[in-house]
Amino acid sequence: MRLKSKVALITGAGSGLGRAIALAFAKEGCAVGVNDLRVEAADAVVHEVRALGGTAHPLVADVADSRAVSEMLTRHMGALQSLDIVVNNAGIGVMEDHVRANVDAMIGDLVTTGRTDHVPEATSTMQDEHWRRTLAIHLDGTFHCTREALKIMEPARHGSIINMASIAGLTGIMAMPDYSAAKAGIIGFTKSIAREVIGRGVRVNAIAPGYIDTPLLDALSDTMKQSLIAQTPAGRLGTPAEVAATAVFLASDDASYFVGQVLSPNGGLYI
């Protein structure tokens, strides 16, 4: 029970990593505010937590919308009365259709011949709306939730914030410049505010997972999934539970001297 009597808010907790973190936190004795854009997804995870004997409350909001996030924090405090931990996890991983078609062709080439003429022109063809939506959810969303959380945590002189980055933010992923930029931005944001708020008792860290088996990867073709596994020295995708274990550690007092760090459960993909 490493998080006994704590209260967390987890964004994008209706699926994948956020869901796994919500369940892992609940097993450690933590009450969870379950944010998601999708009502049914948030409700389903709230039911799962309650079935474990835990406490959970659904918080439907778009993290890209600053006013909705402010209202969400008010609802969270009304329902759960406290905020010790925030996990900024909500995200999307979408490629524009014409890019995805070329990525498949590129990987097909690389798998069969080891070379390719199909490196997609992702950046020169990218629509403003696509770029903005990715940055708005990942980077603006992380900022919005962090700002509102700090209004509660700094006066309390206590808290832990965990931001979900990605291997994409450490190395850059071909054909996903928007996603890579957003995740690198989250790492820079994490390091900056970690220095700013540690003196007021709030620890901020990030997790940068490699490729993890969640619904986010369902949009990928089998060829692309096989290529991700082939790139990973561990020879498999990570599990949501492996990332959730990292989040439990960072949220707990075991990580009391971790400030502005980026932990990367990645199967040896990036060392």
Q: Point out which residues bind ligand NAD (CB under 6 A).
A: 11-12, 14-18, 35-38, 41, 62-64, 89-93, 137, 141, 164, 166, 209, 211-212, 214-217
- Shortest distance, position 239 Cβ to ligand NAD, whole Å: 10
Q: Which of 179, 211, 257, 270 is catalytic?
A: 179
CA distance 146 to 61: 15
- Shortest distance, position 158 Cβ to ligand NAD, whole Å: 25
- Shortest distance, position 200 Cβ to ligand NAD, whole Å: 26
Q: 15 vs 102, which CB is nearer to ligand NAD? A: 15
Q: 126 vs 216, which CB is nearer to ligand NAD? A: 216
Give the burial class of 243: count Cβ atoms within 10 A of its Cβ; 0-12 exposed, 13-18 middle, 19 or more buried: buried
- Shortest distance, position 16 Cβ to ligand NAD, whole Å: 2
The vertex-218 CA angle with 214 and 220, nearest 5°, equals: 120
Count CA atoms within 13 Å of residue 69 on its CB side. 26
**Side chain identity at residue 206, one-letter code:** A
- Contacts of 100 by beta carbon, 8 Å cutoff, 6+ apart: 219
Q: 90 vs 106, which CB is nearer to ligand NAD? A: 90
Q: 212 vs 251, which CB is nearer to ligand NAD? A: 212
Pairing of strands 56-60, 85-88: unpaired
- Shortest distance, position 263 Cβ to ligand NAD, whole Å: 12
- Contacts of 213 by beta carbon, 8 Å cutoff, 6+ apart: 237, 238, 239, 240
Q: What share of the chain is helix, strand, coil (3-state, %, to 5)?
A: 55, 15, 35
- Contacts of 61 by beta carbon, 8 Å cutoff, 6+ apart: 35, 37, 68, 69, 71, 72
CA distance 220 to 217: 5
Clarify whether 211 is annotated catalytic: no
The helix/strand/coil state of 203 is strand
Q: Catalogue the active-site residues.
A: 179
